[in-house]
Amino acid sequence: MAKFYQRSLLLVAMLFCVQSAIAQNVPTPKDHFGFNIGDDYQLANYTQTEAYFKKLAETSKRVKLVDIGKTEEGRSQYMLIITSPENQKNLARYQEISQKLAHAEGLTPEQAKALAAEGKAVVWIDGGLHANEVVGAHQLIQMAYNLSSKTDAETNKILDNVIVLMTHANPDGQELVSNWYMREKDPKKRSTNGLPRLYEKYAGHDNNRDFFMLNLKETQNIGRQLFVEWIPQIMYNHHQAGPAGTVVAGPPYR
């Protein structure tokens, strides 16, 4: 009995060390940006965000970074595929299942049920579409870190059962708005008002209305993933609403 308890304690200690190593290897947003996401008077631009996404892909086996195309200003638009390391090994199969279930061509009910049982839920979450709604892009950063590093039972359950596709909807806009905001040395003078040009090169605030005609490169990149490549079962387009000064919380919600 004593040996059993000793082995159990050793196993628990080993698991704790593994989980701690996962969390320690993944840089926190503060490690990279120099501030916590949500800190007063602090915004990250897209150049910084892109570099952070690359760090997550380098340090976490849960993250794969995919360049889905260029923006209208020539930046790379990225999609993070976040799921368990085991699921990462079988992404092509899960993508195939998602496509087959979406088209449902030639599938019997029994075949569809079998594919659903074998596959994983594919969930799309984007942010930053309207660049002056700054929580959208920043919740992507925080959520990507949480899913890349946390080792609690709830996070592990999500990673085991879900393939999360996290995509920045307007990289050019984040670069413009954040640089404009952070140009003031006095934090209390910082504001997103008075932008010198549109935060999407051609459409500005109307970039969300491009999803019915796909004129913009960013919309084409996103549409290719949503309707051709992955066809996720859930598509969550993150916006920010409310009067100036409203505190907005980003997912995941408890």
List, for residues 175-221, the tens digit of each pLDDT value.
999 999 999 999 999 999 999 999 999 998 889 888 889 999 999 99
Mean pLDDT confidence for 4-13: 50
pLDDT at position 12, please?
Answer: 43
pLDDT at position 212, please?
Answer: 86
CB atoms within 10 A of CB 209: 10
Mean pLDDT confidence for 31-45: 96
DSSP 213: T
Q: If 0-12 CB within 10 Å is exposed, 13-18 middle and 19+ buried, where does residue 212 land?
A: exposed
Q: By percentage, how much of the chain surpasses pLDDT 90?
A: 78
Helical (H) or strand (E) element with 236? strand 234-237
pLDDT at position 18, please?
Answer: 46
Given pLDDT bands bounded at 50, 70 and 90, which one contains residue 250? low
pLDDT at 17 over 50: no
CB atoms within 10 A of CB 84: 18
List, for residues 215-234, the tens digit of each pLDDT value.
999 999 999 999 999 999 99
pLDDT at 254 over 60: no
Nearest to 165 by CA among 77, 105, 241: 77
The CATH number of the domain covering residues in 37-237: 3.40.630.10
Mean pLDDT confidence for 9-27: 55
Query: Higher confidence at residue 201 or residue 247?
Result: 201
Q: Mean pLDDT of all residues in the chain?
A: 89
List, for residues 73-109, the tens digit of each pLDDT value.
999 999 999 999 999 999 999 999 999 999 999 999 9
Total number of residues shown for the chain: 254
pLDDT at 46 over 60: yes
Mean pLDDT confidence for 150-167: 97
pLDDT at position 6, please?
Answer: 57
